[in-house]
Amino acid sequence: MLRVFPDVRRRRLPKLFLLVTALALPLTACGQDLGRSNFARTTVPAAAGTGQVSDGPITDAAVAANVLRTIQPCQFLTKEALGALGLGTVEEDPSPSSIAFDTCSNKVKDPGGKEIRLELEIGNTLLPRADKTTGQVGGLPLRVDKTDETDCTVAAMTALNPDLALTLSVTYAADPCRPGQTLMAAVVQKLHNSPEKYSTPPGTVLTADPCAMADTTVVAPVVPSAKSAPAGLHSCQWTNTRRNPTVTVEFLPGLPPLVGDGNVKVDLGNGVTAYRKQGSAGSSRCTVEWQHRPWQGDDVELAQVDYESNGAKPDTDDPCGKAVTVAKNVVTKLPKA
């Protein structure tokens, strides 16, 4: 997440786990010696992680990006949903991320009292490598990576080249991959069977394709030879073969931005006031953020443009000038009520 506007007005929910793109530990440990796990072994569906996997494009309409953008992530981590899997006792309601539309977390206590921590992200691009693919789940390629004795990432691929997936990050002091695969099978099944969706009022950015929210002609002078690629369901990055500089357009929930803590008002035109914030001293980075429309409770839908150039000097690179240029274009492309 590229949010660089720290919000001290309320507690932000931290990410429970760090997903990495290149992990060298072997997969053979995952799923072995299952008798030492403390939850019921019968909870893992026999089909999970089995079957042939095609290396062609994924054409399952239920996991198309435009469909997944509106899916509520916490429905898969409720007391009822987790309780039905027999993993253990669920004492709390799920915790939605305060800075992402597509992420939710919860905890389970297995029958032996050990805690299973779960975080689900519906649209993730930080994934286990392709060589971690092990069969399929609900017709989707399944990647499973046990990074150490207590942590496992389970990914059901929803798109390939560029890769996008449903991911479960699991921490469990037994076999973390097993409950992850059990839950992922249930998630994929629910996605094919009337999943709960967010309401989508006219003008919401929830349904917007972020890669369609900036014109190439505007980005090109900022990022030479730029090409866009999803950085998630609600985020898109423009970069080149050198991967420097980069521009990212992102949509997220949050409290309305305010002046202060380095935030400076900027007029984007069309009656939109944004707040720009330059990165730390010596860093050629700037983020422009503004309120698009109401979301839930005190939260609003936020649009954000981030520019960063590694190695450039901010006084000559003008990162905020470049970020504002792209932001002025994005404003004209956003959905309207």
Beta strand ranges found along the chain (DSSP E): 95-96, 103-109, 115-124, 133-137, 140-146, 151-159, 164-172, 227-232, 235-239, 246-254, 264-269, 272-278, 284-294, 300-309
CATH number of 205-333: 3.40.1000
- Return the structure tokens found at 305: 């443009």
CA distance 172 to 167: 16
CA distance 182 to 194: 20
**What pTM was estimated for this model as a whole?**
0.84
At 201-228, the pLDDT tens digits run 999 999 999 999 999 999 999 999 999 9
| pLDDT value at residue 53 | 60
What are the extents of the domains in the chain?
34-191, 205-333
| Best CA proximity match to 167, nearest among 190, 192, 143 | 143
- Return the structure tokens found at 38: 């403390």
| Best CA proximity match to 141, nearest among 235, 267, 252, 55 | 55
> What percentage of the chain exceeds 70 in pLDDT?
84
Beta strand ranges found along 52-114 (DSSP E): 95-96, 103-109
In degrees rounded to 5, what are phi and psi of residue 229? -155, 140
CA distance 305 to 289: 7
- Return the structure tokens found at 259: 């002046």
Triad 64, 70, 72: Cα angle to 5°: 115
Q: What is the pLDDT along the chain (337 residues), one digit of tens a residue?
A: 444 444 434 433 333 333 333 333 333 334 333 333 444 433 333 334 555 566 679 999 999 999 999 999 999 999 999 999 999 999 999 999 999 999 999 999 999 999 999 999 999 999 999 999 999 999 999 999 999 999 999 999 999 999 999 999 999 999 999 999 999 999 999 999 999 999 999 999 999 999 999 999 999 999 999 999 999 999 999 999 888 999 999 999 999 999 988 899 999 998 999 999 999 887 899 999 999 999 999 999 999 999 999 988 888 999 999 999 999 999 999 999 8
